[in-house]
Amino acid sequence: MQELLTILSAFYGCHAMVALRPLSDEETYECIQITATVQVYFLTKAELAMMADMPDTKRKIGLDIALQRFKAWEKANPKAVKILKGIPTEKSDPVI
| Position 27 in a domain | yes
Considering the domain boundaries, does residue 95 fall inside one? no
For residue 87, the model assigns a pLDDT of 83
Q: Determine the distance from the C-alpha atom of residue 54 to the mean position of all C-alpha atoms in its chain, rounded to a whole number.
A: 22
Show pLDDT as tens, one digit a residue, over the chain (96 residues).
788 899 999 999 999 999 999 999 999 999 999 999 999 999 999 999 999 888 888 888 889 999 999 999 999 999 999 999 888 777 655 555
pLDDT value, residue 96? 55
Asked if residue 36 belongs to a domain, the reply is: yes
Please give the torsion angle defined by the CA atoms of residues 63, 2, 11 and 39, in that order, rounded to the nearest 10 degrees.
-10
Residue 80 lies inside a defined structural domain of this protein: yes
